[in-house]
């Protein structure tokens, strides 16, 4: 069944306005693929009414998964108040994730802000299967660079930018992307996996296109059902409108009409 | 076990519960519900030609409700006949097809095309005429909010339709009772209401509406008391069955609509929250009848005591 209850093991603040929630569920740990999301009912009853879609951050072990989320509105703020031992109603895993069937020699992960959340799961799955995983991570400030030590711990080569220059190079993460593609310390095929603000992903898509490198992006859109019924979360693609919740959230970057 | 069957627009439904158009897709419902248990299934509204719908964001949450402005995105009647109807023919559930349009001709032509389709006569039990969509520029609320116009659309469709006709009315008018009476006189076989209520929500930091189109239609538990009153008023003014819609989240809400005068109900927004909810509502109505000593669901229809 897609609809299940999962026990909260922990729900801890990891940065200002960012929380990591660990859920106990053998089924979710087994079934979830990088890029997929859970549709979470924050409270029973009518307030908040709709579920909140949150991507899977990591599979911790065979019966635990974690979510990394920002408190961006009322729903996620209420979610951040949940205590360990409480149960939450979860629909998922939902959506189409990253295509990891083909392993490149070099994986380039491009993360902007909260975009680091689903990319950690990608790095986890690619560990040991690629010659190199490079994480390009950008945020407004140093505190917004999420999970950097976790990425390093699983062997990622981490390049950082911040808009205020408080860590890494000052600027946008896309400023480093071209350089990362050209870095031939380790040769071979490249694939790009990106998640972040729309402008960042559009820029990443353009550069990946110029260098003719396969690139996938994980999109975000306001959604209601999460199941492909309501047609709220559409995105314009070269094949017409597609649903972020169903055909996405991960798309090939050259498919999207940016 | 109490008897749950009801008759709406000449169709015998095994129970009074169906989905509201555009809120549930049985193609995506595998394992979430037992489709065969539904009273009827209503796919998302179709139009004569493909429509791409409105810009995103198409939804936003409000207090105990939501605004939507999807804009009738659909692939058009021909694609529906080719791609959806064969699947629906095998689904084992009575199908009511929701039809929308911008002109009377468009409505009529869509219904006529559907009538000519191979699987249609045995699969489609009725059409629901959506003259109440708040999210298109012409043919939605603009038709349904004027009794004469709603009657004219109904009469023109009646001429070409081989199916019973349910007219879905809008709450966005002071003359909804008049509209109901007018469509009954024009030949409607049943009435469904309410479609969503015009609404707007503004982001105070960006000063922009939270919906791409600027405004949308409000649904969910926030609208339920308005809907119950409208169903009450309309069911007392017409002699054809009324299908109650508006913020039904559980069996108790559905029973309220039945007591107010609805012969059947449609569940909308609740499907987004709990895709299994319609099954629970069917069981819940049955349990309530048993608990209150009713042998037949029809015993409670319109039985609100004033």
Report pLDDT digits (tens) over B188-218.
999 999 999 999 999 999 999 999 999 999 9
Share of chain B above pLDDT 90, in %: 93
Contact residues, chain B, for A91 at CB < 8 Å: 275
pLDDT for the residue B29? 83
Q: Are A184 and A98 in contact (CB under 8 A)?
A: no
Contact residues, chain A, for B53 at CB < 8 Å: 231, 234, 241
Instruction: Residue A192: give its domain's CATH number.
Output: 3.40.50.80
Report pLDDT digits (tens) over B10-29.
999 999 999 999 999 999 88
Residue among A204, A135, A138 nearest A170 (CA): A138
How many residues in chain A?
258
**In angstroms, rounded to a whole number, what is the distance separating the alpha carbons of residues B167 and B187?**
10
The answer to whether B162 contacts chain A (CB < 8 Å) is: no
What integer best gives the mean pLDDT of chain A? 96
The answer to whether B179 contacts chain A (CB < 8 Å) is: no
**In angstroms, rounded to a whole number, what is the distance separating the alpha carbons of residues B305 and B259?**
9
Chain B nearest-CA distance from A256, in A, is 15
Catalytic annotation, pick one of B18, B95, B133, B260: B133
Chain B nearest-CA distance from A41, in A, is 7
Chain B nearest-CA distance from A1, in A, is 7
Identify whether A126 is part of a domain.
yes
The answer on A111 and A90 residing in a single domain is no
**In angstroms, rounded to a whole number, what is the distance separating the alpha carbons of residues A43 and A23?**
16
The answer on A33 and A154 residing in a single domain is no
Reported as a pLDDT band with limits 50, 70 and 90, residue A234 is: very high
Instruction: Residue A16: give its domain's CATH number.
Output: 2.40.30.10
Reported as a pLDDT band with limits 50, 70 and 90, residue B297 is: very high
pLDDT for the residue B130? 96
pLDDT for the residue B301? 98
The answer on A122 and A78 residing in a single domain is no
The answer on A138 and A26 residing in a single domain is no
* Number of domains composing chain A: 2
Contact residues, chain A, for B273 at CB < 8 Å: 41, 49-51
pLDDT at A184 over 90: no
Asked if B23's CB is within 8 angstroms of A46's CB, the reply is no
Identify whether A183 is part of a domain.
yes
Closest-CA residue in chain B for A223? B59
DSSP three-state, residue B103? coil
Supply angle C-alpha B217, B221, B223, rounded to 5.
Answer: 50
For chain A, state the CA radius of gyration: 18
ipTM of the complex: 0.95
Asked if A232's CB is within 8 angstroms of B60's CB, the reply is no
- Residue B133 annotated as catalytic: yes
Average pLDDT of A71-95?
97
Alpha helices (runs of H) in chain B, residue ranges in sequence order: 77-79, 85-89, 104-116, 120-123, 141-144, 147-160, 176-185, 224-237, 251-260, 270-273, 277-291
Asked if A234's CB is within 8 angstroms of B275's CB, the reply is no
The answer on A153 and A80 residing in a single domain is no
Identify whether A99 is part of a domain.
no
The answer on A223 and A181 residing in a single domain is yes
Report pLDDT digits (tens) over B179-192.
999 999 999 999 99
Identify whether A52 is part of a domain.
yes
Chain A nearest-CA distance from B178, in A, is 31
Residue among B220, B212, B135 nearest B170 (CA): B135
**In angstroms, rounded to a whole number, what is the distance separating the alpha carbons of residues A152 and B114?**
59
**In angstroms, rounded to a whole number, what is the distance separating the alpha carbons of residues B92 and B83?**
17
Report pLDDT digits (tens) over B228-243.
999 999 999 999 999 9
Contact residues, chain A, for B61 at CB < 8 Å: 48-50, 75
Identify whether A100 is part of a domain.
no
The answer on A243 and A115 residing in a single domain is yes
**In angstroms, rounded to a whole number, what is the distance separating the alpha carbons of residues A221 and B142?**
30
Report pLDDT digits (tens) over B157-177.
999 999 999 999 999 999 999
pLDDT for the residue A187? 82
Tell me the CA distances in angstroms from B164 to A165, A214, B115, one per residue in order.
Answer: 68, 53, 11
Residue of B213, B275, B280 to mutate, interface with A, max A Cβ within 10 Å? B275
**In angstroms, rounded to a whole number, what is the distance separating the alpha carbons of residues B5 and B145?**
32
pLDDT for the residue A185? 79
From A53, A70, A94, the end of a domain falls on A94
The domains located in chain B, with CATH, are 6-54+73-197+221-299 (3.20.20.70)
pLDDT for the residue A108? 97
Reported as a pLDDT band with limits 50, 70 and 90, residue B118 is: confident
The answer on A33 and A13 residing in a single domain is yes
Closest-CA residue in chain A for B210? A222
Provide the domain limits for residue A246.
Answer: 106-255
Residue among A230, A211, A31 nearest B68 (CA): A230
Reported as a pLDDT band with limits 50, 70 and 90, residue A186 is: confident
pLDDT for the residue B30? 77
**In angstroms, rounded to a whole number, what is the distance separating the alpha carbons of residues B244 and B261?**
8
Of A3, A222, A234, the CB nearest to B32: A3
Residue of B24, B272, B276 to mutate, interface with A, max A Cβ within 10 Å? B272
The answer on A246 and A147 residing in a single domain is yes
Tell me the CA distances in angstroms from B230 to B43, B144, B146, B151, B306, one per residue in order.
Answer: 24, 14, 16, 19, 16
Residue among A23, A30, A20 nearest A9 (CA): A23
**In angstroms, rounded to a whole number, what is the distance separating the alpha carbons of residues A125 and A229?**
30
Average pLDDT of A207-223?
97
Of B52, B56, B63, the CB nearest to A47: B63
DSSP three-state, residue B37? helix
DSSP structure class, residue A244: T
pLDDT for the residue B219? 98
Identify whether A133 is part of a domain.
yes
pLDDT at B138 over 90: no
Report pLDDT digits (tens) over A81-91.
999 999 999 99
The answer on A127 and A70 residing in a single domain is no
Q: Are A212 and A254 in contact (CB under 8 A)?
A: no
Chain B nearest-CA distance from A221, in A, is 7
The answer to whether B65 contacts chain A (CB < 8 Å) is: yes
Identify whether A101 is part of a domain.
no
The count of other CB atoms within 10 Å of the CB of residue A94 is: 23
Residue of A76, A221, A227 to mutate, interface with B, max B Cβ within 10 Å? A227
SS3 breakdown of chain B: % helix, strand, coil, rounded to 5?
35, 20, 45
From A41, A60, A94, the end of a domain falls on A94
Q: In chain B, positions 252-281, which contact chain A (CB-CB < 8 Å)?
A: 269, 271-276
Contact residues, chain A, for B212 at CB < 8 Å: none
**In angstroms, rounded to a whole number, what is the distance separating the alpha carbons of residues B94 and B123?**
7
The answer on A70 and A111 residing in a single domain is no
Q: Are strands A18-24 and A3-15 parallel, antiparallel or unpaired?
A: antiparallel
Report pLDDT digits (tens) over A132-174.
999 999 999 999 999 999 999 999 999 999 999 999 999 999 9
Chain B nearest-CA distance from A81, in A, is 20
Identify whether A116 is part of a domain.
yes
Of B44, B59, B64, the CB nearest to A224: B59
HEC profile of A156-218: CEEEEEECCCCCCEECCCHHHHHHHHHCCCCCCCEEEEEECCHHHHHHHHHHHHHCCCCEEEE
DSSP three-state, residue A140? coil
From A29, A59, A94, the end of a domain falls on A94
The answer on A171 and A43 residing in a single domain is no
Report pLDDT digits (tens) over B29-62.
878 899 999 999 999 999 999 999 999 999 999 9
């Amino acid at each position: 069944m897609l609809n299940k209850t999962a026990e909260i093991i922990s729900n801890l603040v990891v940065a200002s306005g960012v929380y990591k929630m660990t859920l106990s569920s053998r089924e979710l740990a087994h079934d979830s693929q990088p890029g997929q999301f859970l549709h979470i009912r924050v409270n029973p009853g009518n307030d908040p009414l709709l579920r909140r879609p949150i991507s899977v951050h990591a599979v911790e072990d065979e019966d635990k998964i974690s979510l990394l989320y920002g408190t961006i509105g009322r729903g996620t703020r209420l979610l951040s108040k949940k205590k360990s031992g409480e149960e939450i109603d979860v629909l998922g895993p939902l959506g189409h994730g990253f295509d990891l069937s083909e392993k490149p020699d070099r994986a380039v992960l491009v993360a902007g802000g909260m975009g680091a959340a689903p990319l950690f799961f990608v790095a986890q799955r690619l560990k040991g299967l690629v010659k190199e995983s490079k994480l390009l991570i950008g945020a407004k400030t140093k505190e917004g660079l999420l999970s950097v030590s976790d990425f390093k711990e699983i062997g990622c080569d981490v390049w950082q930018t911040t808009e205020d220059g408080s860590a890494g190079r000052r600027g946008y993460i896309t400023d480093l992307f071209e350089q990362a593609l050209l870095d031939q310390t380790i040769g071979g095929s490249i694939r790009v996996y990106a998640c972040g603000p729309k402008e960042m992903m559009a820029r990443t898509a353009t550069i990946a296109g110029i260098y003719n490198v396969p690139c996938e992006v994980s999109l975000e859109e306001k959604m209601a059902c999460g199941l492909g019924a309501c047609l709220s979360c559409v995105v314009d693609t070269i094949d017409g409108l597609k649903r972020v919740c169903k055909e996405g959230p991960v798309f090939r970057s050259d498919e999207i009409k940016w | 076990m109490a008897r749950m069957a009801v008759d709406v627009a000449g169709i015998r439904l095994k129970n009074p519960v169906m989905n509201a158009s555009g809120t549930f897709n049985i193609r995506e419902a595998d394992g979430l519900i037992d489709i065969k248990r539904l009273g009827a299934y209503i796919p998302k509204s179709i139009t004569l030609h493909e429509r791409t719908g409105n810009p995103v964001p198409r939804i936003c949450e409000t207090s105990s409700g939501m605004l939507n402005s999807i804009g009738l995105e659909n692939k058009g009647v021909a694609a529906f006949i080719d791609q959806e109807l064969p699947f629906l023919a095998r689904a084992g559930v009575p199908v009511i097809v929701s039809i929308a349009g911008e002109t009377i001709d468009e409505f009529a032509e869509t219904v006529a095309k559907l009538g000519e389709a191979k699987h249609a006569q045995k699969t489609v039990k009725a059409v629901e005429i959506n003259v109440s969509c708040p999210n298109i520029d012409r043919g939605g609320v603009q038709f349904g909010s004027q009794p004469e116009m709603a009657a004219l659309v109904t009469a023109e469709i009646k001429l070409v339709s081989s199916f019973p006709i349910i007219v879905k009315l809008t709450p966005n008018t002071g003359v909804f009772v008049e509209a109901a009476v007018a469509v009954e006189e024009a030949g409607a076989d049943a009435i469904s209401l309410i479609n969503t209520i015009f609404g707007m929500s503004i982001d105070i930091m960006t000063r922009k509406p939270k919906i791409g189109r600027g405004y949308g239609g409000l649904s969910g538990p926030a609208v339920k008391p308005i809907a119950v009153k409208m169903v009450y008023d309309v069911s007392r003014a017409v002699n054809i069955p009324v299908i109650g819609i508006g913020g039904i989240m559980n069996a108790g809400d559905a029973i309220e609509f039945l007591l107010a005068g609805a012969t059947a109900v449609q569940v909308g927004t609740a499907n987004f929250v709990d895709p299994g909810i319609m099954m629970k509502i069917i069981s819940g109505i049955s349990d309530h009848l048993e608990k209150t000593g009713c042998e037949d669901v029809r015993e409670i229809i319109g039985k609100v005591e004033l």
